Amino acid sequence: MSMEATAWTQLHNVITAQQDRRPFNRATLRRIAVFARPHRRRIALFLLLSIATALLAVATPLLAGRVVNAIVGGEETGTVTRLALLIAAIALAEAALGLVGRWLSSTLGEGLILDLRTAVFDHVQRMPVAFFTRTRTGALVSRLNNDVIGAQRAFSNTLSGVVSNLVTLLLTLAVMLGISWQITLLALVLLPVFVLPARRMGTRMARLQREAAEHNAAMGTRMTERFSAPGATLVKLFGRPADESAEFAARAARVRDIGVRTAMAQSAFITALTLVSALALALVYGLGGYYALHDKLEAGAVVSLALLLTRLYAPLTALAGARVEVMSALVSFERVFEILDLKPLIAEKPQAKPVPDGPVSVEFDDVRFGYPSAEKVSLASLEEVSSLDTRGGAEVLHGVSFRAEPGQMVALVGSSGAGKSTVAQLLPRLYDADEGAVRLGGVDVRDLTADSIRDTIGMVTQDGHLFHESVRANLLLARPDADEEELWDALRRARLDGLVASLPDGLDTVVGERGYRLSGGERQRLTIARLLLARQRVVILDEATAHLDNTSEAAVQEALGEALEGRTAVVIAHRLSTVRSADLILVVESGRIVERGTHDELLALDGRYQELYRTQFARPGGAHAERG
């Protein structure tokens, strides 16, 4: 592509970019400076190289003009040769500086991506569970990808572009005015001829591009939902494949049509602007030639002006759109900082201490709790809604108190939504109590280190979540330093060693997204094996057998027997048969403990527990099922 076409392509990108008229945010600029500070030496060197490259870019047209003058003036061959060698040397220097500049810009940009992504990733990991229950995963991942890369362009592209283009523009303009101010001003007069119509066309093209982006985003969301294992199953069971295909094809066809129209408009646009460039060059050659023939200008000066013209419009048009590029980068930075400004609700105290050694007791002392409202844990842009839900903060636990001595099992039973799982989430400090205290080994969890809490408490939920990785990787999540023998011992105790040994790759077999290549019972036993490998002193079981059939439940119960042995346990169960042997059973209703005692004591009370028990065992085959 010619230099003129390159310049017009750059202008096209500028005018079709989405315009942002907001003022510069000084606070954002200061925060960007904090991220840029570790790279300040490379930034300074990068700017110096940009200036040097701009100087060389102006030198070549002047030397080319001198070559023409030397030829026309009949100077010695050696003069022409020396000028040609100098032009070649400048070309080599430009190439070398270009490579070094590209290396610096890439290291700066990629270094910034690393810093931003690491900062956002680490910050997100500290966010409470409520943040993840509200946020759309795709929107959050977009911040780590698209917005971070958009911010990176501020250093790798915009910064160098503004500096080099500004230096090139000033030098070129000064040299051209020095050679012939009349021709220079006439060449500049042509600029509005294509800038004004181009902006009108650019608005239309920008609208088409935004529409295409919206359709692409909708298709991406649809594919993500439909191609996940649960989504694909739902479509097969209840979906209408023909309708699904038709809707997807309609959006894809719209994107195709927009792509064709955009390509043709862009081609016509670039062609028209290149034509204007040719007219500007014709003006330079025509008027310059006239001056040269009447001895008002040297022939070499005409050639220099023509070459400099192409180096005038390119930086001029680029600088005209510099504000758009800078604002786009600032918007990306702001979207990244928006995540970093969300304060984690759970913070470790500077003087936090580890959980005491030895057997651990669990205690809830008059605990009151309400889930945080959306504005404390989320952003409307991450939930992809116009405004956040204002609900939240209502108390769901009302003065809950109980104690599990070391090695005891405390069971929580009651209606769905009574607050049992909320109790389980407060113990490992996924949330903090609003009032009262949750204690481990007699110490408030808010005074303990996060690492020691994780090393002390193990939890198995009804989902049995696994990563799309190997059996080995899912197990090593609990103890990265575990050896082969310890892995197989944990699998044996979880009654899963036979299955894993029969898999094609054994421990290195990939379990699939969320473990969907395994059955429900197998997934649960693998999470129990992970728990056994961690050797934690407190175990929380939250409906660990809720969705299993009788055969799978029996296998999981055997594995749970291993997991609970010698450990303090808090068990949440819907099936009362699984908690008969508990040292203490708590009946939770509407966020309150309404009954407490052993299985036999609660039956004798003739209260809510007996009602739950009678409801389960009164069903046809219920008693048999519960005993199984």
Q: What is the CATH number of the domain that holds 469?
A: 3.40.50.300
Least confident of 192-201, 506-515, 563-572: 192-201
> Given this model, what pLDDT does residue 448 score?
92
Helix (H, G, I), strand (E, B) or coil at 165: helix
Average pLDDT value for residue range 11-35 = 61
> Given this model, what pLDDT does residue 120 score?
84
Q: Is the dihedral of CA 555, 560, 565, 570 positive or negative?
A: negative
Q: Which residue has the tokens 């405004």?
A: 387
The more confident residue out of 446 and 386 is 446
> Given this model, what pLDDT does residue 368 score?
93
> Given this model, what pLDDT does residue 328 score?
67
Do 26 and 146 have their domain in common?
yes
Residues of the chain with pLDDT > 70, as a percent, come to: 78
With respect to residue 299, please indicate whether it lies within any of the assigned structural domains.
yes
Could you tell me the CA-to-CA distances from 443 to 287, 349, 356, 457 in Å, in that order? 89, 13, 8, 14
Q: Which residue has the tokens 């390119």?
A: 314
Could you tell me the CA-to-CA distances from 362 to 370, 443, 583, 617 in Å, in that order? 21, 9, 13, 31
Q: In the 8-state DSSP scheme, what is residue 397?
A: E
Residues 306-359 pLDDT 10s: 888 777 766 766 666 566 667 667 777 877 888 888 888 888 888 999 998 888
Instruction: Read off the pLDDT band of 303 (50, 70, 90).
Output: confident
DSSP state letters, 506-529: GGG-B--GGGTTS-HHHHHHHHHH
CATH number for position 137: 1.20.1560.10
Range of 88-102, 144-158, 377-391, 433-447 with top mean pLDDT: 433-447
Among the listed residues 66, 54, 50, the one whose alpha carbon sits nearest the alpha carbon of residue 90:
54
Instruction: Read off the pLDDT band of 435 (50, 70, 90).
Output: very high
> Given this model, what pLDDT does residue 229 score?
67
CB 153 within 8 A of CB 329: yes
Q: Is the pLDDT of residue 142 over 50?
A: yes
Q: How many domains does the chain have?
A: 2
Average pLDDT value for residue range 602-622 = 76
Instruction: Read off the pLDDT band of 445 (50, 70, 90).
Output: very high
Among the listed residues 405, 530, 598, 432, the one whose alpha carbon sits nearest the alpha carbon of residue 544:
530
CB 461 within 8 A of CB 402: no
With respect to residue 387, please indicate whether it lies within any of the assigned structural domains.
no
Least confident of 231-245, 395-409, 523-537: 231-245
- Per DSSP bridges, beta strands 362-370 and 395-404 are antiparallel
| Mean pLDDT estimate for the chain | 78
Do 237 and 291 have their domain in common?
yes
In whole angstroms, give the CA distance from residue 485 to residue 483: 6
Among the listed residues 25, 120, 130, the one whose alpha carbon sits nearest the alpha carbon of residue 375:
130
CB 208 within 8 A of CB 264: no
Among the listed residues 389, 397, 403, the one whose alpha carbon sits nearest the alpha carbon of residue 368:
397
For residues 433, 435, 438 and 443, what is the CA-based torsion angle, rounded to 10 degrees? 120
Q: Is the pLDDT of residue 19 over 50?
A: no
Q: Which residue has the tokens 């504000």?
A: 323
Q: Which amino acid is at 232?
A: A
In whole angstroms, give the CA distance from residue 477 to residue 460: 14
Domain, as residue range, for 524: 362-371+393-627
Q: Is the pLDDT of residue 109 over 70?
A: yes
With respect to residue 345, please indicate whether it lies within any of the assigned structural domains.
no
User: CB-based contacts of 12: which residues, under 8 Å, 6+ apart?
Assistant: 198, 202, 266, 269, 270, 273
Do 332 and 428 have their domain in common?
no
Do 57 and 116 have their domain in common?
yes
Which residues pair with residue 414 across a beta bridge?
588
> Given this model, what pLDDT does residue 400 score?
92
The more confident residue out of 216 and 122 is 122
> Given this model, what pLDDT does residue 393 score?
67
The more confident residue out of 381 and 547 is 381
The more confident residue out of 4 and 107 is 107
Do 322 and 410 have their domain in common?
no
User: CB-based contacts of 354: which residues, under 8 Å, 6+ apart?
Assistant: 448, 449, 451, 452
The more confident residue out of 491 and 163 is 491
Do 467 and 518 have their domain in common?
yes
Query: What are the backbone dihedrals phi and psi of residue 604, each rounded to the nearest 5 degrees, phi first?
Result: -70, -20
Residues 366-407 pLDDT 10s: 999 988 877 777 776 666 665 666 666 688 899 999 999 988
Average pLDDT value for residue range 456-476 = 84
> Given this model, what pLDDT does residue 194 score?
57
Do 524 and 566 have their domain in common?
yes
Among the listed residues 585, 55, 606, the one whose alpha carbon sits nearest the alpha carbon of residue 311:
55
> Given this model, what pLDDT does residue 556 score?
66
User: CB-based contacts of 20: which residues, under 8 Å, 6+ apart?
Assistant: 324, 327, 328, 331
Do 117 and 247 have their domain in common?
yes
In whole angstroms, give the CA distance from residue 161 to residue 324: 13
> Given this model, what pLDDT does residue 3 score?
43
In whole angstroms, give the CA distance from residue 206 to residue 569: 60
> Given this model, what pLDDT does residue 479 score?
85
Residues of the chain with pLDDT > 90, as a percent, come to: 8
In whole angstroms, give the CA distance from residue 302 to residue 281: 10
In whole angstroms, give the CA distance from residue 609 to residue 599: 9
> Given this model, what pLDDT does residue 624 score?
40
Q: Is the dihedral of CA 478, 480, 482, 488 positive or negative?
A: positive
Could you give the angle at the alpha carbon of 2 between the alpha carbons of 149 and 72, nearest 5°? Answer: 140
Do 173 and 255 have their domain in common?
yes
With respect to residue 356, please indicate whether it lies within any of the assigned structural domains.
no
> Given this model, what pLDDT does residue 25 score?
64
Do 329 and 403 have their domain in common?
no
Do 322 and 438 have their domain in common?
no
With respect to residue 146, please indicate whether it lies within any of the assigned structural domains.
yes
> Given this model, what pLDDT does residue 7 score?
47
The tokens describing 492, both together, are: 């044996």
> Given this model, what pLDDT does residue 6 score?
46
Residues 551-582 pLDDT 10s: 666 666 766 776 677 788 898 887 777 788 88
Instruction: Read off the pLDDT band of 205 (50, 70, 90).
Output: low
Average pLDDT value for residue range 441-470 = 86
The tokens describing 536, both together, are: 């934690």
> Given this model, what pLDDT does residue 430 score?
87
Q: Which residue has the tokens 């199953």?
A: 233
User: CB-based contacts of 530: which residues, under 8 Å, 6+ apart?
Assistant: 474, 475, 477, 478, 490
Q: How many CA atoms lie within 13 A of 412 on its CB side?
A: 31
In whole angstroms, give the CA distance from residue 107 to residue 61: 32
In whole angstroms, give the CA distance from residue 371 to residue 430: 11
| Burial of 44 (C-beta count, 10 Å sphere; 0-12/13-18/19+) | exposed
Q: Is the pLDDT of residue 96 over 60?
A: yes
With respect to residue 416, please indicate whether it lies within any of the assigned structural domains.
yes
Q: Is the pLDDT of residue 140 over 80?
A: no
Could you tell me the CA-to-CA distances from 247 to 237, 242, 243, 251, 384 in Å, in that order? 18, 9, 6, 6, 22
Instruction: Read off the pLDDT band of 594 (50, 70, 90).
Output: very high
With respect to residue 540, please indicate whether it lies within any of the assigned structural domains.
yes
With respect to residue 347, please indicate whether it lies within any of the assigned structural domains.
no
Do 29 and 161 have their domain in common?
yes
